[in-house]
Amino acid sequence: MNSDFHTHTILSPDSRTPVEEVLKAALDRGLEAVAVTDHAERNPAGFGFFSPYCQSYETYRAAVEHAVARCEIKGKLTVLLGVEIGYTIEEDALARAFLSGCEFDVILGSVHDSYPIDMFRPESGEMLKRDPDLGVETLVRYFTQLEGAASSGLFDVIGHVDLYERYFPGLWPDPFQHPKIAPLARKAVQAIAQKARMEINLDMVNKRGHFSWSALRFLEMYREMGGKPPVAGSDAHRPEYVGLHIAEAERLARQAGFAGLASWEDVVASRRQKGRTVLY
Ligand SMILES: [Zn+2]
Ligand SMILES: [Zn+2]
């Protein structure tokens, strides 16, 4: 199933890509569907969208609608109005209040909050090497938050379960073996299997040519726990990554024992059961 469920545009603080460029890239790639999933999370102004170009749901929806109208995609590409929520258990009520006032076709829940090791800072690699206990503490917290995200019931898809591997591959404790981490990682995957879907995140494949070493293990565990077919997300912040290597995600899904990736219709149907949808 040729759909990319995770893309970012200029409506996110960390991308400069106009929405139209994402839609054009999806068309060029021959995708059936693309979800625009810009970041919404806690920020100095409250909880929600927080790019210089977009601070409200209304602005967000209007900007995507405008791009859809300009691209003349009817009959060629389905565009899903999505969002990637940066979730923490502590901010659950804020996320819930924000989402209760919006309609989306697909809602991604991701954990970006990372402590004491920041998964996004260049110096974190040195910290991990110097003090492996900090890595343990960070993953204990990460998988606890991830379980909270899945259990919240707010999300259709849980994004990049293996995010910590993205910038510091091989430096983390083994989440399937470590006595403090493994039970929490298992609980998180179980909650995803029960309440959401797992995303196969393509960022590492697109930029480094391979999945994280743990991607297949998580997916197998998720399938054994009864998880629904997973979705693929490029997590593209630039147009050239939109829909890139979806076939690799399909291959990984089959390797884990699924018949294939979820269709966009299946994912939207699950959202419809929970609330109203938009769909272009
Ligand atoms: Zn993310
Ligand atoms: Zn993302």
Dump pLDDT digits (tens) for 18-77: 999 999 999 999 999 999 999 999 999 999 999 999 999 999 999 999 999 999 888 899
Q: What is the pLDDT of residue 50?
A: 96
| Structural contact between residues 44 and 59, judged by C-beta atoms closer than 8 angstroms | no
The CA 48 to ligand 2 mean position distance, Å, reads: 15
Q: What is the whole-number distance in angstroms between the Cα of residue 160 and the centre of ligand 1?
A: 7
Encoded tokens for 210: 């391979």
pLDDT, residue 274, reads: 83
User: How far is the centre of ligand 2, averaged over its atoms, from the C-alpha of 179 (Å)?
Assistant: 30
Find the mean pLDDT for residues 159-184.
97
Whether the full predicted model's pTM is greater than 0.75, yes or no, is yes
Residue 7 CA to ligand 2 centre (angstroms):
6
Interacting residues of 29 by C-beta distance below 8 A, sequence separation 6+:
4, 242, 243, 244
The closest ligand to the CA of 161 turns out to be 1
User: What is the rounded average pLDDT of the residues 225-247?
Assistant: 98
Cα of 212 vs centre of ligand 2, distance in Å, is: 16
The residues facing 51 across adjacent strands are 54
Report the top-level CATH class of 3-274: alpha beta
Q: Give the C-alpha separation, 157 to 4, whole Å.
A: 12
Domain boundaries, given as residue ranges, for the chain: 3-274
Give mean pLDDT, residues 96-125. 96
Shortest-distance ligand to the CA of residue 166: 1
Q: Identify the nearest ligand to the CA of 87 by its number.
A: 1
Quote the ligand 1 centre to 111 CA distance (angstroms): 7
